[in-house]
């Protein structure tokens, strides 16, 4: 097992099935374990867990059938295996947890085992401090920017942005200048669900599934509908400016966070299995859990993200909103801190990093890969209306939408090719790569 020492450390700290109260600054665990298996030896790995650790009886789920897994994940008498991803969410008695970790370290059919976390929507709920001015030029003013401090020059160049026809975010990434629409590309948004009756989105949603027990896919929070609107809202919404990047992409709406904005690793894994089986080219996850300075990325998510890339799916995740700039920068959240997941930082209208956006302090995958508009973003809201939200959550679906545009333009491109093209097309910014990665997201 690649991460034995990390698992042993976490083993000693996790409580038994705590509630996610939304107030803790640290990681919370569910009491279960996530176990990544060798795809060619799944049964041998499970047999080892049964014999050594006495895990609960196993139920197998594959592909689109993962949409039926919400009840299984809530059942303490069942362990669930998602066969296409070769990952299990296992129930184990507290006194057997050490045996599970020990057996996982000894059995080469088990690649990683970690306690299952609670994760949350990555939205800022405190008042933000966005400036009023707008950065008006991105590709055509290199000479000017070369002679001046780019950020200062940009902040002095133009008046506040006119958002009568297009949001400032779409203008900043040049989505409104692109002739691409994402037609034929599926974007999966794993979040709090969606308003399936929203007049802007109803005709765009190809499939829905709820991985939250006792909750339908309908969005009782608002976060998911907003993110879906940014990724794939229409070219001509019922009201207000255009806010969607990939205006003809097909949406797979997976509810992995409940109406309070909370979810578990198991729900996310079920959503990933379902989305990949449905042919998603991109999985957008505006969610995460806080990590500490020096903390390594989770082996479980990294291995699964690598498998997703091999299957043709790029995973994008929010970098997190735990910083308080200037003065305090928090490391990139899990799972965005995995090397094979694109971590997205948040920018305001003046192309300054948002005060709360997490930074690449931990390395080894904990970097911010790219930055996108995430402050005062206008998009769809439940009830058929609209809302303005801020956070790396709002930046992330901008990236998912641009990946859909790139996929439309290069239908034979691999997932790795799409990631390379995304990074190559970014506009350099003067801020440290720690905060903005390769720079400002740009549409092709």
Confirm if 396 and 318 have CB atoms less than 8 A apart: yes
How many whole angstroms separate alpha carbon 48 and alpha carbon 61? 20
Longest dimension (CA), the chain: 68
Given the residues 70, 210, 390, 393, the one annotated as active site: 393
Mark whether 223 is an active-site residue. Answer: yes
Mark whether 178 is an active-site residue. Answer: no
Given the residues 223, 226, 378, 398, the one annotated as active site: 223
Instruction: List b or e across 223-256, with b for residues whose CB sees 16 or more CB atoms inside 10 angstroms.
Output: bbbbbbbbbbbbeebeebbbbbbbbbbbbbbbbb
Mark whether 191 is an active-site residue. Answer: yes
Q: What are the backbone dihedrals phi and psi of residue 308, each rounded to the nearest 5 degrees, phi first?
A: -60, -45
How many whole angstroms separate alpha carbon 287 and alpha carbon 396? 10
The count of other CB atoms within 10 Å of the CB of residue 292 is: 12
Given the residues 191, 219, 262, 435, the one annotated as active site: 191
Residues with catalytic function: 191, 223, 393
């Amino acid at each position: 097992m690649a991460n034995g020492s990390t698992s042993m450390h976490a083993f000693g700290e996790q409580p038994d099935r705590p509630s996610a109260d939304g107030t803790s600054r640290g990681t919370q665990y569910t009491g279960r374990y996530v176990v990544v298996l060798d795809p060619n030896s799944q049964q041998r790995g499970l047999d080892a867990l049964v014999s050594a650790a006495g895990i609960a009886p196993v139920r197998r789920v594959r592909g689109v059938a993962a949409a039926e897994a919400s009840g299984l994940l809530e059942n303490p008498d069942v362990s669930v295996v998602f066969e296409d991803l070769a990952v299990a969410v296992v129930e184990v008695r507290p006194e057997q947890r050490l045996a599970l970790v020990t057996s996982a370290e000894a059995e080469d059919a088990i690649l990683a085992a970690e306690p299952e976390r609670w994760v949350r929507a990555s939205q800022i709920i405190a008042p933000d401090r966005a400036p009023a001015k707008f950065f008006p030029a991105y590709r055509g003013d290199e000479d000017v920017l070369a002679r001046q401090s780019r950020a200062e020059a940009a902040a002095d160049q133009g008046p506040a942005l006119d958002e009568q026809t297009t949001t400032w975010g779409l203008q900043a990434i040049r989505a409104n200048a692109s002739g691409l629409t994402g037609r034929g590309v599926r974007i999966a948004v794993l979040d709090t669900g969606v308003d399936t009756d929203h007049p802007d989105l109803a005709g765009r949603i190809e499939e829905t599934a709820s991985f939250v027990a006792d909750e339908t896919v309908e969005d009782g929070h608002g976060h998911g509908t907003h993110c879906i609107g940014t990724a794939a809202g229409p070219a001509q919404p019922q009201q207000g400016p255009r806010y969607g990047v990939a205006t003809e992409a097909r949406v797979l709406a997976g509810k992995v966070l409940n109406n309070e904005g909370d979810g578990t690793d198991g729900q996310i894994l079920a959503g990933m299995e379902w989305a990949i089986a449905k042919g998603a080219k991109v999985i957008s996850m505006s969610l995460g859990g806080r990590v500490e300075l020096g903390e390594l990325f989770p082996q479980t998510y990294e291995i699964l993200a690598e498998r997703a890339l091999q299957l043709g799916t790029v995973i994008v995740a929010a970098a997190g909103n735990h910083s308080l700039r200037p003065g305090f920068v928090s490391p990139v959240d899990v799972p965005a801190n995995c090397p094979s997941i694109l971590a997205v930082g948040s920018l305001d209208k003046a192309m300054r990093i948002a005060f709360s956006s997490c930074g690449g302090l931990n390395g080894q995958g904990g970097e911010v890969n790219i930055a996108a508009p995430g402050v005062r973003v206008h998009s769809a809201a439940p009830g058929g209306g609209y809302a303005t939200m801020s956070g790396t959550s709002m930046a992330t679906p901008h990236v998912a939408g641009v990946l859909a545009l790139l996929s439309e333009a290069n239908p034979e491109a691999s997932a790795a090719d799409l990631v390379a093209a995304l990074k190559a097309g970014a506009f350099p910014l003067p801020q440290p790569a720690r905060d903005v990665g390769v720079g400002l997201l740009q549409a092709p």
